[in-house]
Amino acid sequence: MVQERAEVRKGQQLIRGVLLAGAAVLSYWIGYEVYKGLLVSYWGEGIVERDRQSILYWTGMSHLFIGVPFYLLIGTIVHRKAGGPAADIVWTTVLCGLFFLLPAACIALLFAGLFPIFFTLEASLFYCQFAAEGLSFGLLSALIRRMPLRSRQA
């Protein structure tokens, strides 16, 4: 009986892990689409292929290695401290959305140093991208954590 519960729990953790990986991919795609949409709105132009590859690479690396681990940490802390399901979902979403500055700052540091590029219009595109990623990942991860997973009885 105890072993069956442990196996069920492992299966539930695997399902949540797969869903969180999907949330990470979906939130990155949402952020990238926000970047593209704002680029058209600000400058009236799209992304050329060379720039697209560079943007996908650098923002993808920032999202994967900086954003997602911190979003998961924020979600875990809020999940343990929140007063209920609604507070968990709201606070995780808001705090992950406010975390946009760190991944964007890493890109700025790599290319121009912190302060010259930090307050440019192009930097605001990255801020909006990472804010959208944080908001969407925060919401999705909070919903996934609250999702009831039940095992089927044979």
- What's the pTM? 0.84
pLDDT at 154: 46
Report residues of the chain scoring pLDDT below 70: 112-119, 150-154
Residue 136 to residues 23, 68, 122, Cα–Cα distance (Å): 8, 11, 22
pLDDT at 61: 92
How buried is 60 (Cβ within 10 angstroms: 0-12 exposed, 13-18 middle, 19+ buried)? middle
